[in-house]
A and B are shown apart, each in its own frame.
Chain A
Amino acid sequence: MSNEAKIWEMICRDLVIIGYVTVILLGFFTIKHNIQQGAQDVSHVQYLEKESDSKLQQEKNKYHQNYQKYKNLAAQKAYLNKDQKVKDYYGDLNEDKLLKQRSQKFFTIYLSWSNSHDYQQRSHKLNKIITPQLAQDKNIFDDGKDVTGNNIIKNLGLHSRLNDLTIYSNSQMPPGKEIALVKVVQESWRKGANPGLSNSLYLLRINSDQLIDQVVKLQ
């Protein structure tokens, strides 16, 4: 082989190597670029989706806000309505609301204590919503001691809280006889022990001053 041919062969080799490198590098960067571009396209579409979702959420929120706004307004102005059905419905609703608020507040405090002092302070804590007579009712506000004077709350380390309540109300009784029947789930436990649940049914009555004047444990 002549020298010239050898040189040609070497040049060709080099060209082939350059070719390899070019193809691999170009291939690598093209793939990298395409993957990035693809990810961008997907995230752009996902952004559009998110934007549409949040727009819907805004519309929903706006509707629910207005719904509440007009509902409250309707309740406030119902006494001006000419239709007796409307007046009656909202009147009943408002009275039931009061019974429900009172019941909720009463049982939240009545069934929550973590020591004997709390237990004995319940009637005091409730004095804004109950009559003085009810505060004196020993069937409802006992001192937490049994017949022998043993302080059960203290000695057993008894704790309690309201777990759940369902309120049924009746405002369509003679005036001053508006009542609620309240299903109560009480959660109580001894110090360091697992809590237990118990169900009871209470009657709660409010007087014309909107104060609770009677509470009876029915079951």
Chain B
Amino acid sequence: MKTIIKDVVFLTLTTVIVMSLIEGINAAQNNNFKKVQARTAQTIKLNKKQIRYYRQKDQQLSKQYFYEQISKRNYDIVERKKSLNDRLNKAFTLTFSQTKNKKDYDQLAAKLSPLVGTKFAAELKSKVKPAVQPDGTERTSFDHLDRLEIAYGHLNESTQRVPVLIFAAYSSPTINGTSTGVVTKGTDQVKKSSGIYKISYDPTTDKIVTFDFREGAISHE
């Protein structure tokens, strides 16, 4: 009789263990399911919001939609580019072809600033600072603009800036050859140099915002 009681007690215990195992696994699964469900609900909610957003944007699309983006601007891109081409041309010509002496140099900033702004004017001016040359005279290092090329990149819609690439090649005044110690007129030396400017241009304000310069190879002919 005693063993039977023992057996029944163990059987009950086992039943309890099995049932709690079932419960435990159920709880863990439920927990996982709720997490997945919550995450999914969140995703679906966000997706719905985005779907509404895209539908709305889609309904706004038309030719007119694109035209309005341009019409609301305070500038005409072609006028801006033509004017900037022109001003850069003038500024580089003034700097590299029309700065022959100290007097030209001193007046340069005042002439350049209205064309390209004070900062870029100072940058250009720094390229032609007069110095005492080997033959004893004080001259600018460059006095002829050989080539100027200006080209535009894509307008960045978010910053409203246009990158502009400028290639300029310029040469020094002809210097009488003195390398042998004897002045040899006729075998003049010309120092040539070139540089690339990358400018960030803001068409809304018509101003050069930033610039960066890289000098090219210097060559002698």
Contact = CB atoms under 8 A, between A and B. Distances in A.
Interface of A: 9, 12-13, 16, 19-20, 23-24, 26-27, 30-31, 34-35, 38, 41-42, 45-46, 48-49, 52-53, 55-56, 59-60, 62-63, 66-67, 70-71, 73-74, 77-78, 81, 83-86, 88-92, 96, 166-170, 172-173, 179-181, 183, 201, 203, 218-219
Nearest to B75: A85
24 contacts: A12-B4, A16-B11, A19-B11, A23-B18, A34-B29, A35-B29, A49-B39, A52-B47, A59-B55, A63-B61, A83-B70, A92-B77, A92-B78, A168-B163, A170-B150, A172-B81, A173-B85, A181-B151, A201-B196, A203-B149, A203-B167, A218-B149, A218-B216, A219-B167
A179 B147 CA distance: 13
Interface in B144-188: 147, 149-153, 163-165, 167, 169
Given A34-B26, A83-B70, A170-B152, A49 B44 contact: yes
Contacts of B3: 9
A45 B138 CA distance: 83
Given A52-B47, A84-B76, A34 B25 contact: yes
B63 A70 contact: yes
Nearest to A39: B29
B167 A181 contact: yes
Interface of B: 1, 3-4, 7-8, 11, 14-15, 18-19, 21-22, 25-26, 29-30, 32-33, 36-37, 39-40, 43-44, 47-48, 50-51, 54-55, 57-58, 61-63, 65-67, 70-71, 73, 75-79, 81-82, 85, 147, 149-153, 163-165, 167, 169, 194, 196, 216-217
Given A49-B40, A63-B57, A83-B70, A42 B33 contact: yes
Contacts of A41: 33
A1 to B, nearest CB: 10
Contacts of A12: 4, 7
A114 B20 CA distance: 75
Given A38-B32, A48-B40, A70-B66, 4 more contacts: A27-B21, A56-B54, A60-B50, A170-B151
B40 A45 contact: yes
Nearest to A34: B26
B165 A56 contact: no
Contacts of A89: 70, 76-78
Contacts of B51: 55-56, 59
Contact of B70 (A86, A168, A183): A86
Contacts of B55: 59
A63 B30 CA distance: 39
Nearest to A5: B1
Given A52-B48, A59-B54, A31 B22 contact: yes
A219 B196 contact: yes
A67 B61 contact: yes
Q: Which of A83, A96, A170 has the most B CB atoms < 10 Å from its CB?
A: A170
Contacts of B63: 70, 73-74, 77
B85 A172 contact: yes
B40 to A, nearest CB: 4
A30 B22 contact: yes
A76 to B, nearest CB: 9
Closest A-B pairs by Cβ, 10 of them: A168-B151, A27-B18, A74-B66, A88-B78, A38-B29, A181-B151, A172-B81, A16-B7, A168-B165, A49-B40
B190 to A, nearest CB: 18
A52 B43 contact: yes
B7 A13 contact: yes
A23 B152 contact: no
Nearest to B51: A59
A127 B159 CA distance: 40
A38 B151 CA distance: 64
Given A52-B48, A84-B76, A180 B151 contact: yes
Nearest to B168: A218
